[in-house]
Chain A
């Protein structure tokens, strides 16, 4: 079946560096994409989302890029901090009234060293 996947299972960066986490998706019908951060033993925490009719969206220290041509999604974290260490998941969804399940990618573990 169709699924969302991540290119790298782990990413290690130095504090202050910029981090780029990538995700490839296969469902061209998805309406929106979301990045989540999950710390150990906790539920996913919403970071940022982007609709399929956009190619870039910026938040506080984060930017999500969407390339529908190659079905690629990325999350850029500027000036990465130790508190950013976590597992990051991309997820895709479709608008179907309310309550359409998300499909999650495999996750990238970001480790930030100071």
Chain B
């Protein structure tokens, strides 16, 4: 149990376009989902925390108008990178917590590789 999926796994887009990444908890309801960003050979950096039905809380330095997060249901959160630029190219990882075997444990998705050309 406690499986989290992400879609797409890889995406290439042109500069100036927007990209949506989905994060789903497949077998449990997640009250909270987290979005992380990871650069090559670097650690995971928290971007934002989202609770179902409320606005996301963004970490300092993360532009909320650029990285739109929607957590419309207990099993789905989306991250939309608006007007993407090459510097937005990164590995984006989501995690979900609140309804799995342990309510405190975070269950991570497989990540989405975004490349902006």
**Chain A interface residues toward B at CB < 8 A:** 32, 36, 41-46, 49, 89, 93, 95, 98-107
CB–CB A43/B98 < 8 A = no
Q: Can you give 22 A-B contacts (C-beta < 8 A)?
A: A32-B104, A41-B91, A41-B111, A43-B4, A43-B108, A44-B44, A45-B108, A46-B105, A46-B107, A89-B43, A95-B104, A98-B32, A98-B104, A99-B97, A99-B98, A100-B104, A101-B34, A102-B34, A104-B44, A104-B45, A105-B43, A106-B42
Chain B interface residue count: which class? 20 to 34
For chains A and B in complex, what number of residue pairs have CB atoms within 8 angstroms? 58
- B116 in contact (CB, < 8 A): no
> How far apart are A90's CB and chain B's nearest CB, in angstroms?
10
Known: A99-B98, A105-B43. 17 other contacts (CB 8 A): A42-B111, A43-B93, A46-B107, A46-B108, A89-B43, A98-B31, A98-B99, A98-B104, A99-B32, A99-B49, A101-B46, A102-B34, A102-B106, A104-B43, A104-B44, A106-B42, A107-B43
Query: What chain A residues lie within 8 Å of B34 (beta carbons)?
Result: 99, 101-102
Q: Known A43-B93, A104-B44; judge A99-B111 contact (CB<8 A).
A: no
Cβ-closest chain B residue relative to A9: B41
> How far apart are A55's CB and chain B's nearest CB, in angstroms?
20
**Chain B interface residues toward A at CB < 8 A:** 4, 6, 31-32, 34, 41-46, 49, 51, 91, 93, 97-99, 103-111, 113
Query: What chain A residues lie within 8 Å of B107 (beta carbons)?
Result: 46
